[in-house]
Amino acid sequence: MGTTVISSDSIELSLKDIFIRMGQPKKIPHSPTDFTLPSQNTKMFYIGISAFTINSIIAEFHKSGLLIYRITEDMVPSLILSTRTFGAYIPEISKKYPDQKMELEIQTVKEPDIKFEANNLILEVLSTLTAYVIQSDKKLSSLFVLNLKAIVSAQVYGTELNLALKLTLNKIEASIKETNIKHFEVTKLNSFLDNLKDPVFTLINAYLAKGYPLPGYILPFSLGEIHLVNTQVECITCVNTKGYLLIGTDVHFQENASPQHS
């Protein structure tokens, strides 16, 4: 814990945190840079979460294999994942595997890096996209693997007691990592990637819109519970750091009903 400043109308706490997997402590590669919250007085409680802390969360998600996404046709009904569809871009696919279903798998190859801009989080994501054909025995055969470099912006907002995200793909670059298809030209898939991003990001955003729950109460007490209400979220940029997420909220104390005595 860092410094604590107590004034006549507020208490300021400075905390330094990093997220790690249970039972796997590790040395922090570098210390987070201190930052100061702007003067605010419209909410009862404010907390700033630095890019350092959020990056540590994303890094653990990556290392735990939680940033691997399998995309099937039933997940995105508006997208027909078949060799016929891909054959329009690479004819050899539909010739070698006529009219067969396909699956896609996207996974990060390193921890995504995040920084803050005004009203947005900016993520640089390096990942691979693997295209599989589904054989008659339900086994998957790899067709090709692409390297993807994407720049994604995320709007963060509060929904009742949740923190939610909305992603927008700003830029994507693709290159061939490996392929089992002859005469493969990744440039021919650019238009497919353009068609893919809308239904895929619609699916992802629908999930992210559910939000990550803020605690419905901070601590349970025998006399009642402390709830967070009217939560607002703002992305703040800093000169000496990658920025931070500012969460402002009011606090409501809900008294428990008096116990009944017999």
SS (H, E, C) 192-254: HHHHHHHHHHHHHHHHHCCCEECCCCCCECCCEEEEEEEEEEEEECCCCCCCEEEEEEEEEEE
Question: Is the separation of the CB atoms in 117 and 132 below 8 Å?
Answer: no
The predicted model gives 39-44 an average pLDDT of 80
In-domain check, residue 220:
no
Tell me if 221 sits within 8 A of 227, measured CB to CB: no
Q: What residues contact residue 190 under an 8 Å CB cut-off, 6+ apart?
A: 174
List the one residue out of 104, 100, 122 whose CA is nearest residue 113.
122
191 within domain boundaries: yes
pLDDT 10s digits, 91-102:
899 999 998 999
User: What pLDDT, in 10s, does the model give residues 136-171?
Assistant: 899 999 999 999 999 999 888 876 667 788 889 998
Q: Which range of residues forms the domain containing residue 153?
A: 68-213
CA distance 86 to 105: 15
Does any domain span residue 261?
Answer: no
Q: 146 in a domain, yes or no? A: yes
pLDDT value of position 262? 44
Find out whether 48 and 42 touch, Cβ atoms under 8 Å. no
114 membership: H or E segment, kind and range: strand 113-117
- Is 130 among the domain residues? yes
Q: In the prediction, which pLDDT does 29 show?
A: 54
Q: Look at residue 177 in the predicted model and tell me its pLDDT.
A: 93
The answer to whether residue 227 sits within a structural domain is no
Find all residues with CB under 8 Å of 16, minimum gap 6, and list them.
1, 2, 31, 32
- Record the pTM: 0.74
- CB 172 within 8 Å of CB 153: no
**Residue 80 in domain:** yes
pLDDT-based confidence at residue 69 (cuts at 50, 70, 90): confident
The string of pLDDT tens digits covering residues 174-213 is 899 999 988 777 787 777 787 778 888 888 888 888 877 6
Q: What is the pLDDT of residue 143?
A: 94
115 lies in a domain?
yes
**In the chain, how many domains are there?**
1
Spacing of C-alpha 208 from chain mean position: 8
The CB density around residue 25, as the number of other CB atoms within 10 Å, is 9
CATH code where residue 97 lies? 3.15.20.10
